[in-house]
A and B are shown apart, each in its own frame.
Chain A
Amino acid sequence: MIIDIKNLNYIYNPNTPFEKKALDNVNISINEGDFIGLIGHTGSGKSTLVQHLNGLMKPTSGSIIVDGINISEKGSSLREVRHKVGLVFQYPEHQLFEESVYKDIAFGPKNLGLDDKEIDKRIKDAMELVGLDFESLKDRSPFELSGGQKRRVAIAGVIAMKPKVLVLDEPTAGLDPYGRDEILDEIKDLFKKEGITIILVSHSMEDVARLVDRILVMDKGRLVMDDTTREVFKRAPELEKIGLGIPQITKFMRRFKEKGNNIDDNILTVEEAKEELLKFLRRKKDA
């Protein structure tokens, strides 16, 4: 187990009229090699939860143990925790500040106190992982790149710290479908090739359905579902009740089954739907 969250509570502005419970008795254990989707609408506590994972926020009560380090214990090394858990915020391109792509990506590794040779290697690796050409881009100013490239520089800056767990808060927000697919493919590669544990915060059910193995659903500060992707999307009515949807294709298959057609409606992608429908249509033809 790499992250163990027990009875986590977080209250904003405690003991004032503005008191607000943002996290309500959350329990999660995350294993190494998990690919997790974290969903919930705005204000459900997702962002607060994510910021607890690397000690940017401290629990009001409860405990979070990251790879053996209890983040709320006095004297525990937050630096080490932040090294283990990399966090990519929403619109990460807004935090770029250096004069060159190289220097910007180097910021994190430098803060880890690595030597220049190791930093250089990490920058090369990170840029390759996010699909940025090292030679042609390293000396460019990050500010003159395209939106999608900027975002990838920012993500590379976190990857270069070689975290064991990578948390991405809506990494595709504001991108067009092409840019979105590129980033998602790179995240998938990171998971497959580098074996990094990934937590993907997303609003897009289609993306989550396509990528992750396990889904955590937050609502009003509570963790309301924690299961495999398939199991979670089976509970469509519950998801809809808390203002979340299911992928259009899943919705279609459910509706089609409701009409009395004998099919498996536990479908997450267009590809799966095609296979299932072809089987169904052939059966119908044979009968």
Chain B
Amino acid sequence: MNDEVMIRLENVSYEYKSYVDDSIQTAVNDVSLEIKKGEFLCILGHNGSGKSTMAKMMNGLLFPTSGQVTVMGINTRDEDKIWDIRSKAGMVFQNPDNQIVATIVEEDVAFGPENLGLPPGEIRRRVDEALEIVEMSEYKKHAPHLLSGGQKQRVAIAGILAMNPDCIIFDEPTAMLDPNGRIEVMGTIKKLNEVEGKTIVLITHYMEETVDADRIIVMNKGEIALQGTPREVFSQVDKVKGLGLDVPQVTELVYELRKEGINIKYDVLSVEELVDIL
């Protein structure tokens, strides 16, 4: 991680008209945020907290009603550069089925670079490399609908990687997966951050997935309710639970023990850590 800013949100708000009664709803309310290059940032929050809307503003799929979003210095409102923004800040969505376009894995991975108008040789190189990184090379000639959920999601990630982005935004990528699929995808995401040096924005409501992040932002009612390292955030057990989220069971245990007057340090995240302390 260095000090270069990847994505900057300045006093960003997003309002929309409700389908039900035409009232004006605020999904994101005056949020300012800087995401550093190479950072692994998690955005936590319950459904309807505004976290997905915020993600969609980060690559110009939605535009703020007020405030500015800039990606590597480019304003997302700059229509001429919207494709630069989307190829620099790629996005992976929740439902793996609904983001795979082609009937063969490698053709799907090629979809992004094809849209960028790259020469066939370069597309081939990027497709092979992307599939290699997500460890799906042996499936490149397969039909996507026969893959498992975790494999489909990794193909979707490869499709974004092939556009060669500096940052990837994941919008609840594991919500529809089984535990094995979740482990596969989380492994891939961590690898993208650590090995490939990609900036990662992970939106999720599974707290287990955030313990390795550099920073966590907890959203509530369109605002940033809590912010800090995983340790700082999760040690505030009451606050986190009050926001409709979980903390790791061991963190909760420490919190309960401290309430009973047992004097141990409060910011514990893993099983091993707690075993060592007690």
Q: Is the CB of B248 within 8 A of A248?
A: yes
Listed stretches B119-127, B174-182, B188-196; interface member = B174-182
Interface residues contributed by chain A, number (CB under 8 Å): 34
Q: Would you call B252 an interface residue if the criterion is a C-beta within 8 Å of the partner chain's C-beta atoms? A: yes
Q: Would you call A57 an interface residue if the criterion is a C-beta within 8 Å of the partner chain's C-beta atoms? A: no
Choose among B46, B148, B175, B272 the residue that contacts A255 (Cβ–Cβ < 8 A): B272
- The A233-259 residues at the B interface (CB cut-off 8 A) are 243-245, 247-249, 251-252, 255-256, 259
Q: Is the CB of A252 within 8 A of B47?
A: no
Choose among A42, A175, A248, A252 the residue that contacts B148 (Cβ–Cβ < 8 A): A42
Q: Is the CB of A256 within 8 A of B275?
A: yes
A247 to B248, alpha carbons, bound, how many Å? 10
Listed stretches A72-80, A103-111, A128-136, A143-151; interface member = A143-151
Q: Is the CB of B19 within 8 A of A274?
A: no
Q: Is the CB of A144 within 8 A of B19?
A: yes
Contacts of B245 in A (CB 8 A): 176-178
Q: Is the CB of A281 within 8 A of B252?
A: no
Q: A176-B244, A178-B244, A281-B262 are in contact. Are A252 and B253 (CB under 8 A)?
A: yes
Contacts of B207 in A (CB 8 A): 177
Q: Is the CB of A177 within 8 A of B205?
A: yes
A179 to B181, alpha carbons, bound, how many Å? 22
Q: A173-B176, A177-B244, A256-B275 are in contact. Are A270 and B47 (CB under 8 A)?
A: no
Contacts of A148 in B (CB 8 A): 47
Contacts of A252 in B (CB 8 A): 249-250, 253, 271, 274-275
Q: Is the CB of A42 within 8 A of B180?
A: yes
Q: Is the CB of A274 within 8 A of B257?
A: yes
Q: A146-B47, A177-B205 are in contact. Are A270 and B252 (CB under 8 A)?
A: yes
14 A-B interface contacts by CB (under 8 A): A41-B179, A42-B148, A42-B180, A146-B48, A174-B175, A175-B47, A176-B244, A177-B46, A206-B249, A243-B179, A243-B180, A248-B271, A255-B275, A274-B256
For the complex with contacts A176-B47, A249-B250, A256-B275, 11 further pairs of A-B residues with Cβ separation under 8 Å are A41-B180, A42-B178, A173-B176, A175-B47, A177-B46, A177-B246, A248-B250, A259-B275, A261-B278, A270-B256, A274-B256
